[in-house]
Structure 1
Amino acid sequence: MKNIILTIFCIFTLLSCGQNKSNTEFSISTKNQINSLFSKFNNLNSPGYAIGISKNGKTLYKNGYGAANLDYNIPIKTNSMFSIASVSKQFTAACIALLILENKISLETPASDFIPELEKYSDTIRIKHLIYNTSGITDYPRLKRKSGKSWVTFNYFDIDECISTSLAEEKLQFKPGEKWDYCNVNFMLLTKIIENISGQSFNKFAKTRLFEPLEMNNSLINDDITSVIKNRVTPYNLRTKEYLDGYNEYGIRLKKEGEYIQHPRNSPHYGGSGVMTTIDDLLKWSSNMMSKNFGGQEFYDLMHKTIKFNHDRDNQAFGLYIGDFNGKKIVAWDGGDWGISSQLLRFPDEGVTIVVLSNLGSGEAFRKANEIADILIDEEILE
């Protein structure tokens, strides 16, 4: 009997270890410190966050806090599908990187080879100018729509309208390469180039050439607002005077009652945004940056390539920026939109990745990621 009990205990212990495998290298103290950062949101009456932390490609900790949907009290999990806003740019850039490595294009290729509308500009816009946000194209939100409606994502618009609005400008803001200027249309144009070369929709190209090989099976380009997306997280903003005034400026008048504003995304714009994905998939993406199993060293080097133009900004790579956090090198990009906040932060020298996604517009995912990094440094996990 004693041997049977011992055997059962051993089996139970092994099963328990298997279930918690991703968390075995975190002490209870470390987990508690991280969980405390999200304690305010750890209930089904609030939007919240999903987080993931890995080291050397191994998941150390992942968790969800808050509600993915307040109508039905659906909890956020690590397989919840978030819109990641501008964190999407690195995936658009990755698709371009694949075409460059196949010698279909180069960074010096004139974008007008594939976008004839760019021929009207006297200065040549090259692929590199789009990738590195130095094209001189005026981004669409700074311009008026022909319809007179605002660019708030409550209103329908697609990338064709964004591109045509920007390219209706007869002159560039500056000569390509002279200034750095954040511009989503740059990345929208990159999707058109990908489609022109591949003969596929950007959605299909990203799926078959990027997401599927990386086994990111819950990632997609949200190019059709009518699509059914399993485990989709609903975006929210706080129903504060600041937000109500902000919506009102765009002609959207809302009630004052209630704590949150539900903000459905009715505009299928992508390239600069548009990726929907999960914590689990983003950890796979980040793990490959360590293993380099997909794409090899060439892909890794191109994704992290920086170029010096005729301006001071020289730390941008392929939808990524190279920076410093408390003396440690970081590779990151953050995203934000109505009801969305996201951050993917990597410490390449230490092999650590921190991913934070939120369905709250004021979620400041970048700040939460930094706070997690501080804890990991204190606990000597990030060293």
Structure 2
Amino acid sequence: MKLISSFTIFLLLCSAFFLQFPTEANAQSLDAKIDSLLESTFTPDGPGAVFLVAIAGKPIYRKAFGLANLELKVPMNPENVFEIGSMTKQFTAVSILMLMEQGKLQLDDEITKFIPDYPTRGKSITVHHLLTHTSGIKSFTSMKSLRAIEKQDLTPTELIDFFKNEEMDFDPGEEYKYNNSAYVILGYIIEVVSGDTYADFVEKNIFQKLEMNSSQYASHSQVIPNRAYGYHQKGEYANKNYISLSLPYSSGSLMSTVDDMLKWNEAIKNNLLLKPETTAKVFDNYTLNNGDKIQYGYGWNIKSLEGSPNYEHGGSIFGFKSMGVYLPEEDIYAIGLSNCDCNSPTVLTRDIAKMAMEK
């Protein structure tokens, strides 16, 4: 009997081991697949990137590739800080919605409520139109004259003055056209309504509240711990071009890390900054005047990946590219930050999210 009992215990232990082993093996297999994908893009002696994948808010993959600084041959590490470009728009949109919840503005407010002299040409341009890229206002980044001011430090009103007299591309609500001017105006509205600068509002109401301690409005002069430097590739690698960070402003001037961006995604998912009914507005797939869907909410693209809902947004600014993907049904978040605008993480981040779905 003792022999049978001991043998039975042995079998149970073996069963427990082999039941656990496939899970560990799958995790190792996923790591190996992601490593192989990223190592084929980011070489050890070139600009690099950091990627993170989380399921249910818990990182399952977090690695750095390549170099954070080519001149000094400093390896990239997962704590590196990147300019995130247009992923800034998520923070701008949520800031507007926070002020809406405070009763300080409404989504159907016309922009002339905040900028009385804005030339709307008799059209009704609302905060909602700005958030959804359906305002028809000319995007200043498409203007050839931008080169004349790209190195100048402008106030938000000076930047708005730069583009406000341009002809509109279409009537409000008639079309969807990605628009940096719209998000500049939203940043200025935040300043008018809150009494803070855009940078201070985001710092106090988002970064500090969520303990996103490595995130901030970008700066060329400030010494920023763990900053990754940005590059272009024109045959050989070159240092990024200089542009005044007053120009991307609330459409693209924030910096962050993969860890802080995971905190951000968790905060939105768990309604830490907005009421659930307001968060639902963020991820609504809005329509044009004719009823056509635009595949955009407030600061996020509303798409699908392998048949599952997908909320995503990328960013591009001199020397940097970024991409974040969130699959709400699977609760998978994937984020990629790159320090060369020659290496877009967009497709890679989607592919990594697909791999995590398979897991």
TM class, shorter-chain normalised? 0.7 to 0.9
Partner of 2:142: 142
Partners of 1:115 and 1:205 in 2: CA distance: 19
* Pairwise CA distance, 1:373: 2.3
Aligned residues of 2:83 and 2:317 also touching (Cα < 8 A):
no
Work out which of the residue numbers 201, 217, 221 in structure 2 matches 1:226: 221
Bigger shift: residues 83-92 or 292-301: 292-301
Q: What is the DSSP-based 3-state SS (H/G/I as helix, E as strand, rest coil) of the residue aligned with 1:64? A: strand
Cα distance, 1:266–1:30 mapped onto 2, change above 3 Å: same
**How far off is 1:31 after superposition?**
0.7
Aligned match of 2:169: 173
Match of 1:53 in 2: 53
Pairwise CA distance, 1:214: 1.2
Select between 49-58 and 297-306 the one with higher mean Cα deviation: 297-306
Summarize the Cα distance change of 1:162–1:62 in structure 2 as closer, same or farther, 3 Å threshold.
same
Mapped partners of 1:86, 1:25: distance in 2: 37
SS in 2 for 1:298: helix
Identity of aligned residues (%): 28
Change (3 A) 1:117 1:310: same
Determine if contact 2:119/2:164 at 8 Å carries over to the other structure. no
CA RMSD of aligned residues (A): 2.2
Query: For each residue in 1:30-84, what CA deviation from the matched residue of structure 2 results, as whole angstroms up to 9, or x when unmatched?
Result: 1111111122466552101101111111121211111111111222222211111
Deviation, structure 1 residue 91: 0.7
Which whole-Å CA distance do the structure 2 matches of 1:139 and 1:331 have between them? 23
Query: Structure 2 CA distance, aligned partners of 1:44 and 1:37?
Result: 14
**Cα deviation per residue 1:277-336 (whole Å; 9 max; x = unaligned)?**
000100111122333334341342232233322253432111101111111110001112
Contact 1:54/1:60 (8 A) holds in 2: yes
Q: Give the structure-1-normalised TM-score.
A: 0.81
| Structure 1 counterpart of 2:307 | 327
Q: What residue number does 2:20 align with?
A: none
Distance change (3 Å), C-alpha of 1:233 and 1:264: farther
Structure-2 residue corresponding to 1:128: 128
The residue number in structure 2 matching 1:198 is 194
TM superposition shift of 1:172? 2.1
Q: In 2 relative to 1, CA 297–157 (structure 1 residues): closer, same or farther, beyond 3 Å?
A: same
Unaligned 5+ segments in structure 1 are 1-23, 241-258
Paired residue for 2:271? 292
**Contact 1:44 / 1:70 at 8 angstroms: preserved in 2?**
no
What SS does structure 2 have at the residue aligned with 1:319? coil
Read off the aligned partner of 1:229 and give its amino acid letter: I
Q: Is the 8 A contact 2:325 2:349 kept in 1?
A: yes
| Matched residue, 1:183 | 179
Native 8 Å contact 2:271 2:279 kept in 1: yes
**Deviation of the 1:129 alpha carbon:** 0.8
Report whether the alignment pairs 1:235 with 2:235.
Answer: no
Aligned 8 A contact 1:44 1:74 in 2: no
User: How far did 1:119 drift?
Assistant: 4.6
- Contact 2:305 2:354 survives alignment (8 Å): no
Distance 1:157-1:168 versus aligned 2 partners, 3 A rule: farther
Secondary structure of 2:336 counterpart: strand
d(CA) in 2 for partners of 1:352 and 1:365? 17
How far is 1:120 from its partner? Answer: 4.9
- Cα contact 1:85–1:275 (8 A) shared by 2: yes
What secondary structure, in the 3-state scheme, does the structure 1 residue paired with 2:90 have? helix
After TM superposition, the structure 1 stretch with the greater mean CA deviation from structure 2, 49-58 or 298-307, is 298-307
Q: In structure 1, how many angstroms separate the alpha carbons of the residues matched to 2:47 and 2:204? A: 32
* Cross-structure match for 1:164: 161
Deviates more, 1:261-270 or 1:50-59: 261-270
Distance in 2 separating the partners of 1:369 and 1:226: 31
Question: Match of 1:183, as an amino acid?
Answer: N
- Counterpart position of 1:253: none
SS in 2 for 1:116: coil
Distance in 2 between residues matched to 1:143 and 1:196, nearest whole Å = 26
- Structural mapping, 1:275-354, within 5 Å: 275-310=254-289, 312-354=292-334
Q: 2:211 aligns with which of 203, 212, 215?
A: 215
Structure 1: how far apart are the matches of 2:323 and 2:208? 22
Distance 1:265 1:95 in 2: 28
Contact 1:134 1:178 in 2 (8 A): yes
Query: Cα deviations across residues 255-297 of structure 1 (Å, max 9, x unaligned)?
Result: xxxx201105432121110110000100111122333334341
- The answer to which of 52-61 and 290-299 deviates more is 290-299
- Quote the Cα distance in structure 1 between the aligned partners of 2:211 and 2:295: 29
Q: CA deviation at 1:188?
A: 0.5
Distance 2:209 2:277 in 1: 17
Q: Is the 8 A contact 1:41 1:66 kept in 2?
A: no
Mapping 1:82-97, distance limit 5 Å: 82-97=82-97
Matched, 1:373 2:350: no
- SS of corresponding position for 1:138: coil
